[in-house]
Amino acid sequence: MALTTKLIRLIYAPRLHAIDRFMRDPVRTQRRQLETLLDKASGTVFGREHGFGGIRTADDFARRVPIGEYEDFRPYIDRIRSGEQNVTWPTEIRWFAKSSGTTSTKSKFIPVSREGLRCCHMRGPLDIAGLFARLYPQSRVFSGKTLTLGGSHRLENTGGGAEEGDLSAILIEHTPRLARGMRVPGAETALIPDFEKKVEAICRETVHRNVTAFAGVPSWNLVMLNKVLEYTGKDNISEVWPNMELFTHGGMNFTPYREQYRKIIPSERMKYMETYNASEGFFAIQDDPASDAMLLMLDYGIYYEFLPVRELHDPSKAVPLEGVRTGVNYAMIVSTCNGLWRYLIGDTVEFVSTDPYRVRITGRTRHFINAFGEEIIVDNAEAALHAACRATGAQISDYTAGPVYMNDKTKGSHQWIVEFSTPPSDPERFADELDRALQRVNSDYEAKRFRDTTLLRPTLTVAPQGTFYRWMKNRGKAGGQNKVPRLCNDRTYLDQLTGLL
């Protein structure tokens, strides 16, 4: 066993035991989280308005507090940003994680408390280290540096005494000195606002370091790694960083990128570990390499509820953790020690297991195509694209899809704009395979496609390489935690991209 890994396992042993405890008794853990949150916030403005002091059960909580999205919660957040405290959380809110997400063009400002920073956002990376050391005792990943490609919005004063910026900027400012020595690049480079200039600086700063791990969104990290190869003239990343062992990724489905990473990092030692980390909280970690699901972290100061996506119109259908079933697509609702209450974060998940509770991300509540009753979600799209790639030998860099509306002369269909890293020899066959795969994974789509009853076969538009990068850059969303919107129920994204072709 490597000495550094042995030391990490020793240091993290108590925490690993705590994780094992909540896996054995998840329902009680979650009830305690709710009780603690309500007790602490009972004297806040929000707590008094919703009678936190009289809540005794999860059912009481659900009856008294409505489920809400950002715009519902915004009046409270605006009060905190203006300098008022004890609004939704009793301790001072000093930071706001600025996030545009993918469901709105407006910025969202997610409150971050000291408790949220310590017990949630910063505990997640520590638990990753402990779980990885337990899974791979022979690993030497802790003897080198971790390269983190985060956002670029520096902290700025709100005018009310708090600061706002990317969550990564907040974390950089509060990373302990010892941990800073294990990360690259330095803070100045990490917060360069221009993504291209930041990547150039990362190349200069890191190619001669012993980088053993990296972390971030798969798409932007792939851009960075290709720039590293261009900068060094090497054929693959193993020639640049021979001790590379781990990519901790999140923010999007890794499946479309997996083969590209295997090609660019041809190392048998390479491991991939998915995480579910958002501005609202750190939610889950892949603790089992044999599973594509992630362990829901139940003791991070977060109380979870889940609303079946088919019941989004009826908030009363939301259930606590013990009420979920595997195979159901749920919208996730969180109440947190950052002062969010029954907050619909916009992500959808499916439980793969309930013993322990493991989830995988299936998409966004507003990212779908349902122009003709077909109800295509991101999970369907990813599975169908993967099948089409397998059948044709293609590899995808990026994509988005949306409806082609019917008119008096033709029926409706879907348009898929796809950028390939390895294009199919026959794009029409790829479209056929995509169509067949969508029918296999989605019965509603299959019914609409039956004998072209409602929907015609999808059309494939092949985008030149670099198109999606230019599109995201033009929208001010290059790098960081920004994600390409995969599906849209109108033609907004399709028309913008078509203008670049």
Q: What is the pLDDT at residue 84?
A: 94
Residues in the chain, pLDDT under 70: 1, 100-106, 151-153, 178
In a domain, 241, yes or no: yes
Task: Count how many Cα atoms sit within 13 Å of the Cα of residue 98 in the half-sphere of its side chain.
Answer: 21
Residues 324 and 227 in one domain: no
Q: What is the pLDDT at residue 235?
A: 96
Residues 484 and 377 in one domain: yes
pLDDT digits (tens, 9 = 90+) for 339-370: 999 999 999 999 999 999 999 998 888 888 98
pLDDT digits (tens, 9 = 90+) for 319-344: 999 999 999 999 999 999 999 999 99
Residues 294 and 346 in one domain: yes
Residues 307 and 242 in one domain: no
Structural domain span for residue 236 = 140-268
Residues 425 and 481 in one domain: yes
Give 3-state DSSP helix, strand, coil % of the chain, rounded to 5: 40, 25, 35
Please say which residue of 268, 288, 307 terminates a domain. 268
Give the chain's domain count: 3
In a domain, 421, yes or no: yes
Q: What is the pLDDT at residue 152?
A: 63
pLDDT digits (tens, 9 = 90+) for 426-476: 999 999 999 999 999 998 899 889 888 889 999 999 999 999 999 998 988
Report the mean per-residue pLDDT for the chain: 91
Please say which residue of 364, 388, 421 terminates a domain. 364
DSSP SS3 for 56:
coil
Q: What is the pLDDT at residue 81?
A: 92
pLDDT digits (tens, 9 = 90+) for 271-287: 999 999 999 999 999 99
- Strand 302-308: give its sheet, edge to edge: 183-184, 145-148, 211-216, 246-249, 271-278, 281-285, 294-296, 357-364, 343-354, 329-336, 302-308, 319-320
Find the distance separating the first CA and the last CA of the chain, reported in whole Å: 53
Q: What is the pLDDT at residue 156?
A: 81
Residues 372 and 400 in one domain: yes
Instruction: Using alpha carbons, list the distances in angstroms from residue 27 to 14, 355, 360, 466, 484.
Output: 21, 11, 20, 47, 35
Please say which residue of 309, 341, 364 terminates a domain. 364
Nearest of 104, 79, 83, 108 to residue 96 by alpha carbon = 108
Report d(CA 356, CA 143) in Å as an integer: 31
- The DSSP symbol for 103 reads T
Token readout for 387 is: 């099948």
In a domain, 274, yes or no: no
In this structure, what CATH number is given to the domain that contains residue 390?
A: 3.30.300
- Please, what's the largest Cα pairwise distance for the chain? 72
A 10 A CB-CB count for 355 gives 8
Q: What is the pLDDT at residue 100?
A: 61
